[in-house]
Structure 1
Amino acid sequence: MSVRAEWDEAVRRLLVGAHRGGVAPAALLDDCAALGVAAFGAALPVAVDAAELAVAPRTDERTVGEAARDVFAQIVAVDDQVLLTEWCGKARAAGQVAGHRSLPELLALGTTHPGLRSAVAAVLGSRGRWLAGTRPGWAWATGVGVSADLVDLDEVLDLPSSRRLSALRRSRRSDPAGTRAFLAGQFAVQRRAADRQVLVSALETGLCADDEPLLETALDDRAVGVHDEALRLLRALPESALAERAAERLHRGLWLTADGFDVQSDELWAEALTSPEEFRDLLKDGSESGVAGRLRAAAASVAPTHWTNRLSTDDEGAAAVLSRGPWATALLRGVVQRLLRAVDASPWAVAATRTLTGMEQLEMLASLPAELSARTVIAVSHQWNYDLLDHACSQLPAPWSAWSTAALLDRYAEMRDPRWRAGRPPAVLLARGDAEVLGASWARITERWPEHSVELDVLRLRMRLTQAFDRKEPVL
């Protein structure tokens, strides 16, 4: 009879009574005591053969102070990922790591929000990495994920498509030349266009002049995706045969007038149909059709130094000339793609921002380095409305520099608020601007935008964050 059956029998005897059931009362009570525990008590844990956890390493790393831990708790409470990233950056800059009690929460946040992982990993310290090794889900923070994820090149094309490209790029970082040879060999035999496109895309990691022959071969691929990906990477090379071909077309097809560059009436861009040689150097997605598209393609294939050398001037002078011509929009759209190759990118960025509109303008600003993007917005936003300035500022990476914060605060303050935000401070300014500059301007901000809002609470928390690491008096 099972334990459960014996328990049920004992319960029936209790209901009938010991005397009626012919059982001694003491024996019945003993059965109830023993069988009740056996039937409903917790089972003993099963013994397993598992290695004990290693002892946490001793470390002399400096942990954040009490004020910083208090700010961390508040940031976690409001679930603000931007503030958490800023907290991690401040701790790293101060040479400190997170407190031991904060480590499980940081690991959990990094696990559920992959975008936070690089910031979180920087402040875990040796104890945090030790703790990450105790759970498979935290393996990303152990510091050995990259080497553990390396895959044999002979097996990489058998991986799921979502992992194939990342595996090839990891291999490029560890062995550029060997991976290049593998990619070239596989490109010649792969029949699926999607597979060939992945092989070409992998060259973006560690892209150099040695990759040019394979990319030139890919330009002759009939698949649109393969051709366009190869062309995009060729345009990113500082010097290439593509750049030489584009420079020759620009010299031959454009001439300088008093109003800027114009198309030669008897040259290649005067013809509606493109030659096979030029067509090979154009994107096949339809964005580089017509004269304007062909001009844009040629300008995107040369560095801005092409224009400064041709005009014998600096970047500011060359940008001014290109901005005047009838084809200014097409040419500047091309120059934007090679902007970071300029000696001084600022004049080009300003000229392009004044020429581009809508999402193309915002995407260009987002692609620039933080300080250059901020200076560009400040330079061209005099005639902008609030919404356009707010959209542009939302593209600027945080945190902003002190100079950019002060200038953008002035720009916002002199604008009229939209009716739906009257009296409320700009959220992007208070969330991304330099906390010290904004803290010093607290009186001005609250006077200009008197409506109490959550944005002011965020700024107050950011000020406490800055002061926690600078050892200043806390904000009340």
Structure 2
Amino acid sequence: MSDDARQLRQLLKIGMARAGRPPAGLAAPLDGLLPADAAAAPEATLWLSLGALDLWERGGFVAPDQPPPPPARVAAPETLRPCPPRAQAVMVQLLCGLHPAGLEAEWLRLLHRRGGHLPAHVLPKLLDAGTRQPALRAPLLPVLGERGHWLARLQPEWSWAGDDPDAASWETGAPEQRVAALRGWRARDPQAARAALAAAWPSEPPDQRAALLATLSTGLGPDDETFLDAALDDRRKEVRVVAQRLLARLPASQLAQRMVERLLPLLRLERPLLRAARIDLTLPEALDAPMRRDGIGAASHPGMGEKAGWVVDMLAAVDPDVWTRHFDRPPRGCLALAEHSEFASVFVRGWALALQRHAQDDPSPRLQAWLRDLTAWWLAVPAQREAVPDSVFDVAAAHFAQDADGASSTLFCTLPGKWIADGACVHLLARLAAGAADTWPTALSQHAMRRVYPVLPALADTGHPWLVRQLLSSLALVLDPATAAGFDPVRVPDAQWQSAVDAFFDLVRLRHEMTLSFQETA
């Protein structure tokens, strides 16, 4: 503001009567705008002077230099193959929401196997779907193509599909975004991600520490033991539980070794002359502070005594392969030893929980044998089924679908003749199907259809209809569609069951059509 303008505004504030002096004259060439008559009222001179200065300042304003606009960003040329038009039409149907959830992920996997990218007109809807459903992101990311990644950079809510969203999300994201960013970071560089977590750990809110610590399950290795061991002394129970379970998954960790050292003096192999061999168990006397620090006694085990629950906690923290070596028996042999023991439910539950922890990522062939033998043993020994938590079969389902050695196919061959009447058996099969991450192989699908197809006409006689419907819905999503579509439709006397069976075959045929659509030339 100039001195002339400042003086004029001061006069305007105090008023001409109090100032006792006329306003100062304006410099040339503005003075020509004022009245030439010297008798003009000082008030009029003041207002005209202010108006002249305001026009002068606004008219002479020069805008500061602006940075040049960034060059227009365009998507790089696509390197993936285009999606066939027939397959595009199927995805448009799926996005209308008229078909069961889960088919989108299968469609995306089929596109990825073809080496293709998504068409432009479905990108926004699928990016929105991936934002709402994190489980859809893994099959979606490989097929976004250059245009999809370019588009994801333009919307903050699609940042999970950008070039490298983890760094920004880790620093400034919401709690769930920071957890996802750290997990992605662990998949690429476990040591750097753990170092970042260790640096931020003192300032992390207590209610977020457990979720952040759980991301170390991705890429878990011996280098994580020191940090996890320190977390055993955290003030929050949730953090301590996560640390205990992760340390238990490291067979060479000090926690796992301590558990083995506590268990071995309590176990003894008995070989009676006239009876089957069994494991004899001596219950621990007391629960001391080091045992509590390692997580013993923290979980509840309904139907078991307190000391028996301590043993379950110890067994759950030990790699089950330890016992195949210790007793020199395969998994089925170890389960037979437990079956004849007074504490059968203790051993079975402890080993099942250990499998759930140790086999959930990428189990060794020995742990896969444990999963296979435990599943078959569960079917053959109904008396001990309650000792095995259902969640174990969610872990088994991911490996059941592989059927590398034909063991999964054998399971269908060993089903009893009236297996459809066994509600627990139907529930197990439905769980194994629902937990599959991809389509079952042809051989496994053939064995499944050979056992399911003959019982379809008699479904009206089942005593647990909702379980059977669940089984049909799950199988329709995982059976090899070409195999299942080769079976003729079935006529069922009951109208409601006919509708369920028709829905099963309709979904199978839709998946078969979806598979065939990717064989078309784009």
- TM-score, scaled relative to structure 2: 0.67
Q: Once the 2 structures are TM-superposed, how far is the Cα of residue 196 of structure 1 from its aligned partner?
A: 5.3
Corresponding letter in the other structure for 1:440: G
Please tell me the residue identity of whatever aligns with 2:353.
Q
Measure how far apart 1:125 and its partner are. 1.5
Question: Do structure 1's residue 446 and structure 2's residue 490 form an aligned pair?
Answer: yes
Residue from 377, 388, 411 that aligns with 2:451: 411
Query: 1:316, 1:348 within 8 Å by CA — same for their partners in 2?
Result: yes
Structure 1: gaps (5+ residues) = 1-48
User: Which one of the candidate residues 326, 347, 350 is aligned to 2:373?
Assistant: 347
**Residue 432 (structure 1) aligns with:** 478
Determine helix, strand or coil for the equivalent of 2:73: coil
Match of 1:303 in 2: 319
Return the alpha-carbon distance in structure 2 between the equivalents of residues 69 and 167 of structure 1. Answer: 31
After superposition, the Cα gap between the structure-2 partners of 1:58 and 1:296, relative to the gap in structure 1 and judged at 3 Å, is same
Contact 2:297 2:313 in 1 (8 A): no
User: Is 1:362 matched up with 2:390?
Assistant: yes
Structure 2 residue aligned with 1:238: 251
Cα offsets for 1:119-171 (capped at 9, x unmatched):
233222222323334444433333332344343xxxx8xx7544554454455
Q: Structure 1 residue 64 and structure 2 residue 110: aligned?
A: no
- The whole-number CA distance in structure 2 between the counterparts of 1:178 and 1:133 is 25
TM-superposed CA distance for 1:360, in Å, is 5.5
* Larger Rg, first or second structure (1 or 2): 2
1:422 Cα offset (Å): 13
Deviation string for 1:412-435 (max 9, x for gaps)? 334441456899892222222110
Q: Using a 3 Å threshold, how does the CA distance of structure 1 residues 384 and 313 change in structure 2: closer, same or farther?
A: same
Letter paired with 1:435: P
Q: What is the aligned counterpart of 1:402 among 442, 447, 456?
A: 442
- For the 8 Å contact 1:299–1:334, the answer to whether it is kept is yes
Gaps of 5+ in 2: 1-67, 272-276
* Whole-angstrom distance in 1 between the partners of 2:101 and 2:149: 21
- Separation in structure 1 between the aligned mates of residue 146 and residue 269 of structure 2, nearest angstrom: 63
Correspondence list, 1:219-234, <5 A? 219-221=232-234, 223-234=236-247
Tell me, yes or no, if the aligned pair for 1:431 and 1:455 is still in contact at 8 Å: no
Report if aligned partners of 1:296, 1:334 keep a CA contact under 8 Å in 2.
yes
Identity %: 26
**Count of residues in Structure 1 that have an aligned counterpart in Structure 2:** 410
Corresponding residue of 1:261 = 279
Q: Closer, same or farther in 2 for the Cα pair 1:411/1:166, shift >3 Å? A: same
Give yes or no for contact 1:333–1:352 (8 Å, CA) kept in 2.
no
Q: Contact 2:170 / 2:177 at 8 angstroms: preserved in 1?
A: no
Corresponding position of 2:62: none
Q: How far, CA to CA, are the matches of 2:432 and 2:269 in structure 1?
A: 36
Q: Distance in 1 between matches of 2:125 and 2:490?
A: 34
Q: Deviations over 1:4-51 (max 9, x none)?
A: xxxxxxxxxxxxxxxxxxxxxxxxxxxxxxxxxxxxxxxxxxxxx976
* Separation (CA, whole Å) in 1 of partners of 2:210 and 2:87: 47
Distance 2:195 2:161 in 1: 32
The 1-side partners of 2:466 and 2:174 are apart by 48
| In 2: Cα distance, 1:54 partner to 1:331 partner | 62
TM-superposed CA distance for 1:464, in Å, is: 0.7
Per the alignment, residue 342 of structure 2 pairs with: 326
Amino acid at match of 1:463: H
- Map of 2:139 onto structure 1: 119
User: CA 1:143 to 1:223, structure 2 compared with 1: closer, same or farther past 3 Å?
Assistant: closer
**Cα deviation, residue 379, structure 1:** 7.0
Deviates more, 1:381-390 or 1:398-407: 381-390
> CA 1:163/1:107 → structure 2, altered by over 3 Å: closer, same or farther?
closer
Task: Supply the distance in 2 between the matched residues of 1:117 and 1:131 (Cα, whole angstroms).
Answer: 15
